[in-house]
Structure 1
Amino acid sequence: MIEFGGLLGTAPVMKVNGASSVDFISRGGQIPAPIHSFKIKKIGEILSSI
């Protein structure tokens, strides 16, 4: 914790990531979007394609 004093008070300090940034730089600084779900075909769509 860091004490700023007065009205500012205190704040936690986060640890610094020690991993390499090579992959991040090779993507041009863009982070890929997360995968929310793998959608499975509905039974009706499967049966109609048979």
Structure 2
Amino acid sequence: MHPIEIVFGKILGILGVLAGIVVIAAVALLIAVVVLIVKEIMKEIK
């Protein structure tokens, strides 16, 4: 492995972790929004 490849590997690893965090955060936000909307709908029905 050349030093350049090692650097690219580290960058890709960091980007992968960041992408994972972003995806998890986005999913968590979506779930929170859906839960809030469902609660509002339940209030309207009652």
Q: Classify the TM-score, shorter chain.
A: under 0.3
Pick the structure with more helix per residue.
2
Pick the structure with more strand per residue.
1
Of structures 1 and 2, the larger Rg is shown by: 1
TM-score by length of 1: 0.22
TM-score by length of 2: 0.23
